[in-house]
Amino acid sequence: MKRFRFGWYGDGGLGEKMISAIVSGRKTATACPAYDPEDSELKENDELQLVDKHGNERGRLVVTLVELRSFGTFDEALAKEEGVTLPELKEKMNFANGRSIRDDEEMRVVHFRVVRPSSSPA
């Protein structure tokens, strides 16, 4: 089973916030630059282990859609699926990537649903 990791050392708690939003159902999508190899093989119906930065399983997810779109096309509907407002989404993307994402950059957006949540580390 593929692992879907959220968080990294030095993330200021962002990973835990995202995991909490996922297991509560407030976050049903995530995005990264399309060139990022980590999740490049994901496809619809893949079952994923939701893991934190320590490698602890925090739940199970199923991918419902994978799409490519430019950063400039991100809108409030996508931000809502990400569990934030559009300005928060853009700020989060820039923080997570350590730079300002250009509007013309192609992004991979993974949509998912929770199959089995677990609100705390195992």
| Number of separate domains in the chain | 1
Query: How much of the chain, in percent, has pLDDT values that exceed 90?
Result: 70
In a domain, 10, yes or no: yes
In a domain, 53, yes or no: yes
Q: What is d(CA 16, CA 19) in angstroms, rounded to the nearest whole number?
A: 5
Q: What is d(CA 44, CA 112) in angstroms, rounded to the nearest whole number?
A: 9
What CATH number does the domain containing 81 carry? Answer: 3.10.400.10
In a domain, 122, yes or no: no
pLDDT in tens, 59-109: 999 999 999 999 999 999 999 999 999 999 999 899 888 899 999 999 999
| Predicted local distance difference test score (pLDDT) of residue 122 | 47
In a domain, 80, yes or no: yes
In a domain, 76, yes or no: yes
Q: Count of CB atoms within 10 A of residue 90's CB? A: 17
In terms of residue numbers, what domain contains 97?
A: 2-117
In a domain, 12, yes or no: yes
At 78, is the secondary structure helix, strand, or coil? helix
